[in-house]
Chains A and B, each alone.
Chain A
Amino acid sequence: MTDTAWIDAALTSARPQAVGALLRYFRNLDTAEEAFQNACLRALKSWPQNGPPRDPAAWLIMVGRNVAIDDIRRNRKQEPLPEDEAISDLDDAEEALAERLDGSHYRDDILRLLFICCHPDLPATQQIALALRIVSGLTVKQIARAFLVTEAAMEQRITRAKARVADADVPFETPGAVERTERLSAVAAMIYLIFNEGYSASGDTVEIRAPLCEEAIRLARLLLRLFQSEPEIMGLTALLMLQHARAAARFDAEGALVLLDDQDRSLWNQKMIAEGLALIDKAMRHRQSGPYQIQAAIAALHARAAKPEDTDWTQIDLLYGALEIMQPSPVVTLNRAVAVSKVRGPEAALEMIEPLASRLSNYFHFFGVRGAFLMQLGRNEEARVAFDRAIALANTSAEAAHIRMHLDRLMRDSQPQGAKAGK
């Protein structure tokens, strides 16, 4: 690593704790962020000469707080920053301060920081943008790039989200157990959204959006380290890792989507899979099932199958059944139907999804899946209608291209086989 790379890494990993603590002191997001920025500037000057402090986060909190207080005292007169020596006895104070930053405090500091990004009035995209800016410390430019919008548009989106959060009145007292659980679940959902932003990228954008998946995993790990006994946080982290482990196999050289059955499994990241499997294993011991754990368990069954035909579809069907009870949704039923088609055949699967037609009438995957079942049953004309509808509803060019591939196969097959396919 180069000379400054270790500083960047240290600043990034200290950021949630430092900004979280500064927010607790100043109770104002802008002041906290500015204080952190100033502390970082000083770190860049001081750390290369003096070496890294024993506790970088404590150092940044201390320096950030002092600089901000000085600023406030001088009534924000435009003066150059005070010399480093003017900041009182950094080294002596560091130890005492680090002790005051007890574990229970910093857990809630970070959770609060994540939680303010999850304000229910904020649309999902704003929640994510705000979290990436405030918690992860990505630049507006980086976030704009990942969201495929201009920097100005993203700047505006973040400013608006911040204004709304500032009015929201997040309580700064240490949260009670119930409140902490609520915050944790809102934050988990937000992290999952960040991941999905990256995961739902199409082939041509995957390279610039994949970092969102990595950032989501980093935040999930952070949360898990703070709340080590929460099976759902273990489940969430496992789920993200097991899905992201397949990243290299999900698109072909032309950027077209490759479905699970057709993926080159040797491209799967085995190290990430091992960690995901270990985590879901650990979560299951708690016998407190939850949606993230179930989805992770499903992803684990795919990860454990060396070949597509080794997949334990019966177990996957059961797991989706459990998820349907916990989180009833037509999309879950649709996913379950895919497992059912493998276990009991396309006829049973088709029967299962017919009642969803009205609720999923604008959902790309519904028509893609329906078309596939119909095709397997040899009902090619109906399959073609479903695939046409799917293409019309496709969200990305990769999705459309994938369905077109099915259609082409259908055209090829239906000429010689048309007669015997009819029932």
Chain B
Amino acid sequence: MLYAILCYHDEDTVGSWTKEQDAAVMKKLAVVQDKLTKQGRLGPVARLLPTTSATTLRKDDPPLVIDGPYAETKEQLLGFYVIDCKNLDEALDVARDLGAANPGGAYEIRPVGVLNPGSIKP
């Protein structure tokens, strides 16, 4: 069984770390990731840029683009994609295509700051 682990933390706190503190945390996490990689158990890992860089596409008809992160609480996180795009417009185009295939709910689009593609072969 594959499991996704979703990371939550207070953005203000993480954002106020110094470069050194941030690097120290990333280094400790890398140790855990390396162990999993060696065991062939690590899939993609992504660190997202802050929510201020987020855009949300409400999958209404027509779809509605809203600045900022997804703020509602009545829907739940059900999955995610990592896609390669030149800019936000391209990412929104992909989200619109996905939304047309599966209407209802919303997509939050966030730039990825760090990506480790992992080595897992399901």
Interface residues of A (CB under 8 A from B): 1, 6, 9-10, 12-13, 218, 221, 224-225, 228-229, 234, 237, 271, 274-275, 278-279, 281-282, 285
Contacts and interface: CB of A to CB of B under 8 A. Distances in A.
Nearest 10 Cβ contacts at the A-B interface: A228-B68, A13-B12, A278-B111, A278-B53, A229-B67, A228-B67, A281-B88, A224-B52, A275-B49, A281-B87
A13 B66 CA distance: 26
B13 interface: yes
Interface residues of B, number: 21
Contact of A274 (B15, B55, B111): B111
A10 B65 CA distance: 32
Contact of A275 (B10, B13, B88, B113): B113
Contacts of B49: 274-275, 278
A224 B67 CA distance: 10
A218 B28 CA distance: 26
Contacts of A229: 66-68
Nearest to B65: A285
Contacts of B13: 6, 9-10, 13
Contacts of A1: 21
Contacts of A6: 13
A303 to B, nearest CB: 14
B82 to A, nearest CB: 15
Secondary structure class of chain B's binding surface, majority of residues: mixed
Contact of B113 (A12, A13, A218, A274): A274
Interface in B43-68: 49-53, 55, 65-68
A279 B113 CA distance: 13
Nearest to B110: A278
Secondary structure class of chain A's binding surface, majority of residues: helix
Given A275-B50, A285-B89, 19 more contacts: A6-B13, A10-B13, A221-B50, A225-B52, A225-B68, A228-B52, A228-B68, A229-B66, A229-B67, A229-B68, A237-B52, A274-B111, A274-B113, A275-B111, A278-B49, A281-B87, A281-B88, A282-B55, A285-B65
A383 B6 CA distance: 61
Interface string B66-90: 1110000000000000000001110
Contacts of B21: 1
B16 interface: yes
Interface of B: 10, 12-13, 15-16, 21, 49-53, 55, 65-68, 87-89, 111, 113
13 contacts: A10-B13, A13-B12, A224-B52, A225-B51, A225-B52, A225-B68, A228-B67, A274-B111, A275-B50, A278-B88, A281-B87, A282-B67, A282-B88
A9 B10 CA distance: 11
A271 B113 contact: yes
Contacts of B87: 281
Given A278-B111, A282-B88, A221 B16 contact: no
B48 to A, nearest CB: 10
B16 A9 contact: yes
Most buried by B among A9, A221, A282: A282
Given A9-B13, A13-B12, A13-B13, A282 B51 contact: no
Given A229-B68, A274-B111, A274-B113, A282 B53 contact: yes
Contacts of A282: 53, 55, 67, 88
A221 B15 CA distance: 10
Contacts of B51: 225
A9 B13 CA distance: 6
B51 to A, nearest CB: 7
Contacts of B12: 9, 13
Contacts of B68: 225, 228-229
B115 to A, nearest CB: 11
Nearest to A233: B52
B50 A285 contact: no
Contacts of A228: 52, 67-68
A278 B88 CA distance: 8
Contacts of A271: 113
A113 B55 CA distance: 28
Contact of B88 (A13, A224, A274, A285): A285
A242 to B, nearest CB: 13
Given A1-B21, A271-B113, A274-B111, A279 B53 contact: yes
